[in-house]
Amino acid sequence: MKRIVTLAAAAIVFAGASASAQTVKVGLFAEPSAMDPHYHNLGPNNAFSSNVYEALILQDENQKLMPGLAVSWKPINDTTWEFKLRQGVKFHDGSEFNADDVIFTYERAPNVPNSPSSFGTYLKGKSFKKIDDFTVHAITEKPYPLMPVDLSQIVIISNEVGKDVTTSQFNSGEAAIGTGQYKFVEWKPGDTILIERNDNYWGGKPAFEKVEVKPIKSNPSRVAALLAGDVDFIDNVPTADIERLKGDSNIVLSSGISNRVIYLHMDRFRDDSPYITGTNGKNPLNDLRVRKAISKAINREAIVARVMEGVAIPAGQLLPPGFFGTSDKVKPEPYDPEGAKKLLAEAGYPNGFGMTIHGPNDRYINDAKIAQAIGQMLTRVGIDMKVETMPKSVFFSSASSGGPDKTPKYSFILVGWGSGTGEASSALKSLIHTKDSAAGFGASNRGRYSNPEVDKLIEQALATVDDAKREMLLAQATEIAMNDLGIIPLHYQVNTWATRKAAGLKYLPRTDERTQIGSLVKE
């Protein structure tokens, strides 16, 4: 008996040494664009950096804030937040974590050269002061309740890497030193990312010895890799395959609602909109009746049932009900094609007009199919629709600033917004507030919707520290903006992950849509 145990132990040691028993293989839809955690503020990048790095404050699966590298935080007066840092945390290279690393990180993060989308958005207008080795103050001019949420988006790097550290030093692994659950080993772009367990992690032993991440962009290939056992875990399970995978006893699916709303943004700043025809140079989208007609013409239930195969939730506002700052009073617009035709006629377009919808074809779940479905539905109430979809790399730069003088290029676009902060203020601030680059408002307001009343409520809410009062103000702003149809919400995205039963894994679905190894658990 003893001999068997010894043999078994030897086998385990041997297996461990050959790195096969404990290696988890992950098939990922989207590969990070860099290993530098402050290079590109993008979903796949942020999800991956959360494996290697940590922020002062972490978010759990439902985006509730949890202590990370900070053990506690509180406002000490109207304009100052105090963060108490965790003691005894070591970086992967063995160096000690303290306030200097925090200050160093917050200086570097907004200033990474050539960043396609900067983390400055979370750090603008804030200054940071080291009080002692484990106390940091964050100071703003006005009261700022979202400080903890903002700082949960910035992961801390070691100040040992030096001031002039470059993105390529992170990509090679030289500077990829964090405090997170896993250590960075190697990145072969387009092929694999390798990480291994950080045995000195402050929060207990991480679940897996080695993790091999493989980007598999093609939907059918990713599913096939899972079915064949080439990978143990995939994200972004295509809606078309969910039904089939449900019936497969080797596969465990886990899905959860996200904080992402898929919506239509309309040109509100041009009289003669470039992709609208047959209106004698008038912009019909400036007429509330036309916007209402478009919203009524869209059969959200049909999109959810037929395009999303039931895996989505019809939307009436910026975040699913239940999230902070949403309103109970706004509901998804019911499908009413007759009402839509009537409204169009009232607005002076009994024969409709011509319009093109633009959207990405590789960003959101079934994005190109949704755009076509919208095309069908609006054609049926008399708007002569064209549908154009393109890769996200082309779409987003054109949609934001592809027109003359860096204005948005299109008239009517399909886009999505995930509220990283988990409250309505994120979408209100970026999509609904009048564009004001200097103050950081309306950064993604590609329709240039502007309503002074809503602006006032948003600004007021952002400066209100009292949660109950802030929630009420946000709900009020949401109600006005939705009744005015500043955007037309379609549905909330539901994300699905799949694991192999044989591997004994289960994924805890995250509302922030991230695929991070910390949420992958052994059953």
Partner 1 sequence: MNGEPTKTPEPNATPAPASAEPAQPARLAPATVVETPFQRFLSEYCESKIAVVAFFVFLAILFVAVFAPVISPQNPYDLGQIDIMDGRLAPGDTTFDGATTYWLGTDDQGRDMVSAIFYGLRISLAVGALSGVIALMLGAIVGLTAAYFGGKIEAAIMRLVDLQLSFPAILVALMLLAILGKGVDKIIIALVIVQWAYYARTVRASALVEREREYIAAAKALGLSSWRILLRHLLPNVLPPLIVVGTVQIASAIALEATLSFLGIGLPITEPSLGLLIANGFDYMLTGKYWISFFPGIALLVTIVSINLIGDQLRDVLNPRLRR
x-or-dash string of contact with partner 1, 286-325, rule CB under 8 A: ----------------xx--xx------------------
What residues contact residue 223 under an 8 Å CB cut-off, 6+ apart?
A: 234, 237, 238, 241, 245, 498
Spatial contact of 239 and 368, defined as CB atoms under 8 Å apart: no
Q: Which of 372, 398, 400, 434 binds partner 1 (CB under 8 A)?
A: 372
- The residue range among 76-84, 112-120, 153-161, 383-391 that interacts with partner 1, by the rule CB under 8 A, is 383-391
CA 15 vs CA 7, 19, 23, 505: distances in Å: 12, 6, 10, 19
Q: Which amino acid is at 304?
A: V
Contact flag: residue 167 with partner 1 (CB under 8 A): no
Spatial contact of 57 and 73, defined as CB atoms under 8 Å apart: yes
Structure tokens at 229: 């056992």
Contact flag: residue 517 with partner 1 (CB under 8 A): no
- What is the sign of the dihedral through the CA atoms of 158, 162, 163 and 166? negative
Contact flag: residue 389 with partner 1 (CB under 8 A): yes
d(CA 33, CA 41): 10
Rounded to a whole number of angstroms, the minimum distance from the CB of residue 117 to partner 1 is 23
Nearer to partner 1 by Cβ, of 224 and 508: the residue is 224
Q: Which of 34, 146, 194, 223 binds partner 1 (CB under 8 A)?
A: 223
3-state DSSP assignment of residue 458: helix
Quote the distance between the C-alpha of residue 237 and its chain's center: 17
3-state DSSP assignment of residue 295: helix
Q: Which amino acid is at 135?
A: T
Question: Which candidate, 291, 368, 283, 375, places its Cα nearest to that of 333?
Answer: 291
Structure tokens at 397: 């730069």
Contact flag: residue 248 with partner 1 (CB under 8 A): no
Q: How many residues bind partner 1 (CB under 8 A)?
A: 31
Rounded to a whole number of angstroms, the minimum distance from the CB of residue 411 to partner 1 is 17
- What is the sign of the dihedral through the CA atoms of 410, 411, 415 and 420? positive
Nearer to partner 1 by Cβ, of 233 and 323: the residue is 233
Nearer to partner 1 by Cβ, of 295 and 389: the residue is 389
Nearer to partner 1 by Cβ, of 94 and 247: the residue is 247
Rounded to a whole number of angstroms, the minimum distance from the CB of residue 397 to partner 1 is 15
Contact flag: residue 379 with partner 1 (CB under 8 A): yes
Rounded to a whole number of angstroms, the minimum distance from the CB of residue 389 to partner 1 is 6
Structure tokens at 454: 């809503």
Q: Which of 107, 133, 174, 243 binds partner 1 (CB under 8 A)?
A: 243
144: left (phi over 0), alpha (psi -120 to 50) or beta: beta
Contact flag: residue 380 with partner 1 (CB under 8 A): yes
Rounded to a whole number of angstroms, the minimum distance from the CB of residue 383 to partner 1 is 10
Write out the residues near partner 1 by the rule CB under 8 A. Answer: 219-220, 223-224, 227, 238, 240-241, 243-244, 302-303, 306-307, 361, 368-369, 371-373, 375-377, 379-380, 385-389, 391
